[in-house]
């Protein structure tokens, strides 16, 4: 049975309050164990409406759990999706204060900048590439505003799929002559290589993740507007961040992006 609309509203308001006052929200899956993925996306949309009414502006979207390994961990067969607000986009040289976050993790990703609108259903890799102005390296600093780390994917989805902070590398590269599946990435923490990956680890092609987001948004009569930035998902495991950490991700042909935590 779907969760009552009033309960959904209460959950979304508690989640918004957690973002504002820094006090984590109760995990909805604990108080409502029958919550479904459909419920979770409905709560996410309530949260987006709450954010918009408080002055936030949607500037793009994010894809989470883009690797098959992470999907199997949460018992799902597709990625999860969220929205990016203008306040989430930070300059690359701005240190991230750990004390203002809950459980931040670092995820290197390929970011898409759209030149034209993508509206599902029916969006695919080719339509994404034709609508893309260029791509750039990015770090997503994902976070959870819930009291407990959860194994329920519903908790992640309703919390806007963990969207928190995005830092963009400074170089925009056209996609015409780059096979994004073959773009390699090296992730370093404090000068040491800790992981490597390639674009193909993201659903076979990073543009496939963007297509999935556009098609999912069509269920809510939404689209990805021209000028939107889309972070397509990480090809490696997310890495917990600590104060004093410095991360650099180097992408073949796309450049680098870095972040400092204080």
Q: Say how many domains are in the chain.
A: 1
For residues 66 and 178, give the distance between their C-alpha atoms in angstroms, rounded to a whole number. 21
CB-CB contact of 52 with 85 (8 Å): no
For residues 254 and 164, give the distance between their C-alpha atoms in angstroms, rounded to a whole number. 23
For residues 137 and 135, give the distance between their C-alpha atoms in angstroms, rounded to a whole number. 7
Which residues, 6 or more positions from 170, have their beta carbon under 8 angstroms from its beta carbon? 92, 136, 255
Model pTM? 0.94
Q: What is the CA radius of gyration of the chain?
A: 17
Identify each DSSP E strand in the chain by its residue range: 58-64, 80-85, 89-90, 105-114, 132-142, 165-168, 184-189, 192-198, 229-231, 239-240, 246-251, 255-260
**How far apart, in Å, do the first and last CA atoms of the chain sit?**
45
Q: How far is CA 61 from CA 165, 187, 197, 209, 229, in A?
A: 12, 23, 22, 11, 7
CB-side neighbour CA atoms (13 Å) of 64 = 28
Q: What is the mean pLDDT of residues 206-221?
A: 95
pLDDT one-digit tens code per residue, 59-68: 999 999 887 7
pLDDT for residue 1: 60
pLDDT one-digit tens code per residue, 28-81: 999 999 999 999 999 999 999 999 999 999 999 999 988 776 787 788 888 999
Which residue shows structure tokens 């793009």?
A: 60
What is the phi/psi pair of residue 151, to 5°?
-95, 0
Assign residue 251 the CATH number of its domain.
Answer: 3.90.850.10
For residues 194 and 30, give the distance between their C-alpha atoms in angstroms, rounded to a whole number. 35
pLDDT one-digit tens code per residue, 88-134: 999 998 999 999 999 999 999 999 999 999 999 999 999 999 999 99
pLDDT one-digit tens code per residue, 164-188: 999 999 899 999 999 999 999 999 9
Residue span of the structural domain in which 21 resides: 5-260
CB-CB contact of 62 with 159 (8 Å): no
């Amino acid at each position: 049975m779907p969760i009552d609309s009033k309960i959904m509203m209460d959950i979304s308001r508690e989640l918004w309050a957690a973002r504002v006052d820094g006090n984590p929200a109760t995990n909805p899956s604990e108080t409502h164990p029958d919550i479904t993925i459909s419920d979770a996306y409905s709560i996410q949309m309530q949260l987006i409406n709450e954010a918009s009414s408080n002055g936030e502006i949607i500037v793009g979207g994010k894809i989470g759990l883009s690797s098959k390994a992470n999907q199997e961990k949460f018992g799902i067969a597709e990625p999860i999706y969220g929205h990016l607000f203008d306040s989430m986009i930070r300059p690359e040289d701005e240190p991230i204060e750990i004390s203002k976050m809950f459980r931040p993790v670092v995820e290197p990703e390929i970011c898409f900048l759209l030149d034209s609108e993508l509206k599902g259903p029916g969006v695919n890799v080719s339509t994404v590439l034709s609508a893309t102005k260029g791509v750039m390296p990015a770090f997503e600093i994902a976070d959870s505003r819930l009291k407990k780390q959860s194994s329920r994917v519903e908790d992640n989805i309703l919390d806007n799929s963990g969207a928190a902070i995005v830092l963009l590398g400074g170089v925009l590269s056209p996609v015409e002559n780059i096979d994004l599946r073959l773009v390699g990435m090296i992730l370093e923490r404090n000068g040491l290589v800790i992981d490597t990956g390639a674009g193909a680890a993201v659903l076979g092609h990073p543009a496939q993740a963007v297509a999935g987001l556009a098609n999912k948004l069509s269920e809510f009569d939404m689209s990805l507007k021209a000028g939107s930035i889309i972070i397509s998902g990480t090809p490696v495991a997310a890495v917990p961040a600590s104060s004093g950490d410095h991360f650099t991700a180097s992408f073949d042909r796309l450049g680098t992006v870095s972040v400092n935590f204080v």
